[in-house]
Structure 1
């Protein structure tokens, strides 16, 4: 067919064919990179079971049971997730434990979505689980004092005592492969609504605003109760923080909280 065309027309046809081929390749590359379409936002008006994820080394497990009791009293089905290796191993393996707990909770309750509360490193575990294809069954992710962008404490441990900084510790260092992957594109992918609560007095997650998540409702305890004295280890046990968690997990979109709410939350 091309042989019957003039040289000028032949060059035009070949150029157009080249553009079509290039365009097809680009589309294929974009599809491969983006993968499946982003999930639709999960309905916010029907809260399902709540999964509470402890921190590094099982941190906060006892206090999370207190929070579980408070959520249960509010009528919520609540589970404290047990992490393998006491939460010091690969955080991705801990995300697998969260997956098992979520499947059990959904089967037990017949609901279609869960809320996840992650304390400290538990918030990073929650993000790993959501990123692993579970955004469509997660209504809300709430993190408490989580080192989303690393903590200088892990940096120091990795540098000065690497033998005492196992894989979970190394994954919480600034710029680790795990955190770089979670933060490299969209820190709060579509599907759930995201809430991050932390304290400006955190001495474990340093700097404290490492807990800030782009696209989330970001709250410090002190932005609600300016005089509150809450350290990292008190985040789960503090009555004010527990009241904030209960409020932020209620039906509907996350509440707007400020100093005017402090008397109610402190009561």
Structure 2
């Protein structure tokens, strides 16, 4: 569904560019068609950039303090912004329009199959770069497309269960690793609440608003309401989810997050007590699953030789 929506949005953007180019030539006195089109593209890019700027502004206004060792200078802030803009443009204008994963036929070493669970208003195309890394490592993986895009998170749970069953049947493995971005991490935790831990070795969440995000208050859908924060407190659904978990289930989880996330606000909401927490800096929300530092850490979490669950730890910063 999201791929179809994005294709329509791409068509609208193309029409907008053509319309602006026509206006530039006939109302603004630009004689060159090439210059008119370039100007129209620049206007479109500026609008997309302003959306990213707004998200950064809101997330900082509503965000948690950045520890001194993670604060950015001017160049670091510029890299953060342009990295997130690039990731957003690529994901929404190409990656999710043609969601394709890279194939891996065998599982090397002690690697387990991996199920990739995307976030809010995304699809499996979000995982293109991680998929390439997993394929190179010989790790079988599958991405799920959660629908409807604005549905209740609880309604996504049977879809995850079906995908896990298919992945286990395909590989002959009795367990999988769940890797989930943003809302997908909440979907993974909801699945764990319903089906238990027998078939999951680890759950790795990336940029997940475990305690809600204030920016979800501006979004639409039942899932957005479930991810919201009202008066600084997580939604009732999030509170119930947390209350259902034990130290043993939390010990299965790793939460990776950025102190400069532009969607999860406060950013500390991505920390999960009792789980292994790994912090990054200078990375935006969409860019998390394509950043080289995050990808390296993800592969380490996925391919870790010792499959014995580690005990809960204090937040670990990397």
- TM-score with structure 1 length normalisation? 0.69
SS across alignment from 2:256: strand
What is the aligned partner in structure 2 of residue 19 from structure 1? none
SS across alignment from 1:154: helix
The count of aligned residue pairs is 200
What is the aligned partner in structure 1 of residue 122 from structure 2? 58
Cα distance, 1:191 vs structure 2: 8.5
Listed one character per residue, the Cα deviations across residues 237-259 of structure 1 (whole Å, up to 9, x for unaligned) are: 11111111001112315899766
2:256 alignment partner, one of 170, 193, 197: 197
Q: Structure 2 CA distance, aligned partners of 1:110 and 1:191? A: 26
2:277 alignment partner, one of 207, 211, 218: 218
What is the aligned partner in structure 2 of residue 81 from structure 1? 144
What is the aligned partner in structure 1 of residue 297 from structure 2? 244
1:94 aligned to 2:153?
no
2:112 alignment partner, one of 38, 48, 52: 48
What is the aligned partner in structure 2 of residue 182 from structure 1? 241
Q: How does 1:24-35 map to 2 (within 5 A)?
A: none
Cα distance, 1:216 vs structure 2: 0.8
1:138 aligned to 2:191?
no
Does the CA-based 8 Å contact 1:53-1:80 persist in structure 2? yes
Q: Structure 1 CA distance, aligned partners of 2:128 and 2:143? A: 7
Stretches of 4+ aligned residues off by more than 4 angstroms = 253-259
Q: Structure 2 CA distance, aligned partners of 1:101 and 1:191? A: 22
Does the CA-based 8 Å contact 2:193-2:244 persist in structure 1? no
**Structure 1 233/218 Cα, relative in aligned 2: closer, same or farther at 3 Å?**
same
- TM-score with structure 2 length normalisation? 0.58
Cα distance, 1:82 vs structure 2: 1.2
What is the aligned partner in structure 2 of residue 20 from structure 1? none
Cα distance, 1:178 vs structure 2: 2.1
Rg larger in structure? 1
Q: Structure 1 CA distance, aligned partners of 2:118 and 2:250? A: 23
**Structure 1 173/192 Cα, relative in aligned 2: closer, same or farther at 3 Å?**
same
Cα distance, 1:185 vs structure 2: 4.7
1:209 aligned to 2:272?
no
**Can you give the 5+ residue segments of structure 2 that lack an aligned partner in the other structure?**
1-108
**Can you give the 5+ residue segments of structure 1 that lack an aligned partner in the other structure?**
1-44, 158-163, 223-228, 260-267
